[in-house]
Structure formats: structure tokens, C-alpha cells
Amino acid sequence: MTGALRGYIRIIDGFNYRVGRIMMYGIFVMMAILLYSSASKIMGTPSLWTLEMAQFAMVAYYMIGGPYSIQMGSNVRMDLLYAEWSTRTKAWVDAITVLALIFYLGVLLYGGLASFAYSLGHFGGSPIAFFSELFHAFFTGGTEAAGEVLGFIERTASPWRPVVWPVKFLMCIGVFLMLLQAIAEFFRDILRLTGDAA
């Protein structure tokens, strides 16, 4: 049992560490977009796409980098009492709070999937049923059959009018990776409680 928990922790930690280290450079992408936006305004030809693209880059940076932040313990924590507790008490409190986080992330993931489905033209019912129908249509009939399942593709109300589904997809990926990392943190707390520190 402890071997399986350790294996899960090792795989998720390794994957989220690598993804997080790559996403750290996303801040430079966002800075480059905003720098280009400023330069284009100075030159008298302001771009329509830059501010919205910077927002999309910020969403990707924040959501995909979130699991790395959880792993590194750089999330906000109230240390008023926590710092004085024993390792065992900290593990108990962490396990309980991580369970609450797992529940929250599960609800957030379902809501994110519903929002992602909405951006692809699904306006009612279960998003899980929509995606299973979409995948079934794609794998049995190709892109044309999948296109028939899709509805009106959501766009922003700005003059640039980009489609919204890519950023909603990235949000779902980020929440899913945070959920996997939260489960790894829960397993780490279990190992700490059993005296088998991970």
C-alpha cells in the first residue's frame, strides 16, 4: 500500500514539477505581449488582440502553474498556530484541509467542464454526456461527425472576438492537475501519519 502511495506521489510530483518549471517562463510571454501592446500604441497602430491575449496568457500561467505552487508549499497558509504544532498534528490538519480542497477542486472541475462544453455549443444537460458523444462521433465518423455535435462556438464580446474554448480547456487541465496534486498531498499526509514520511 505504501509503495503505491509513494509511486503516485513520485509520478504526480515529477510531472507537475516539470510542467511548473516550464510555466514559470509564461510570465515572459505575458510581458512580451504587453510590451508589444505598449509599443504598438506608441507607434500609432494599436493592436486589438494584445490585452485579451495577455489575459489568456495570465490564465494559462496561473492555472497550469497552480499544482507546482501547491507542491512547493508557496500557497498562502496561516502560520499563527500551525508553526508551533507537532509534525503529527500538522499532518492531521493538512489531511483534513486537503480533503476539503479535493472536494472543492472536484466541484470546480465539473463546473469548468460545463463551461468548456458551453463554449463548444452545448447549452444544457451533462457536460460528461456531451464530451462522450463528441468523442464517440469523432472516433467513429471523423471531424465531420464531431462538427455536427458541436453547436455555436462561443466568442468574446471584444472587437477581436477570439474563440474562448482554448482558454477554458487550459483551465480544466489546470484544475485537473491541481486535483491530482492535492491527492498526492493527501497521500503524503497519510504516510506522515503512519510514520512513513514521503
pLDDT at 26 (0 to 100): 92
Sign for the CA dihedral angle at 44, 48, 51, 53 comes to negative
Cα distance between residue 88 and residue 112, in whole Å: 35
Furthest C-alpha separation in the chain: 65
> What pLDDT does residue 113 have?
95
Provide the pLDDT confidence category of residue 102 given band limits of 50, 70 and 90: very high
pLDDT tens digits along 70-91: 898 877 667 778 778 888 888 8
CA-to-CA separations, 139 to 42, 83, 97, 104, in angstroms, rounded? 49, 53, 41, 32
In whole angstroms, give the CA distance from residue 153 to residue 147: 11
Confidence label for 105 from pLDDT (cuts 50, 70 and 90): very high
DSSP per residue, 90-129: HHHHHHHHHHHHHHHHHHHHHHHHHHHHHHTT--SS-HHH
According to the model, what pLDDT value does residue 7 have? 93
Q: What is the mean pLDDT of residues 89-103?
A: 92
pLDDT at 159: 86
Residue 42 pLDDT > 70, yes or no? yes
pLDDT tops 70 at residue 183: yes
pLDDT, average across residues 89-105: 92
Tell me the pLDDT band of 198, cut-offs 50, 70 and 90: low
Domain residue ranges of the chain, discontinuous segments joined by +: 2-77+84-193
pLDDT digits (tens, 9 = 90+) for 124-181: 888 999 999 999 999 998 888 888 889 889 999 888 899 999 999 999 999 999 999 9
Angle at 154 between CA 47 and CA 57, to 5 degrees: 45
Instruction: Find the mean pLDDT for residues 93-116.
Output: 94
Question: Which residues on adjacent β-strands are paired with residue 155?
Answer: 163
Mean pLDDT of the chain: 90
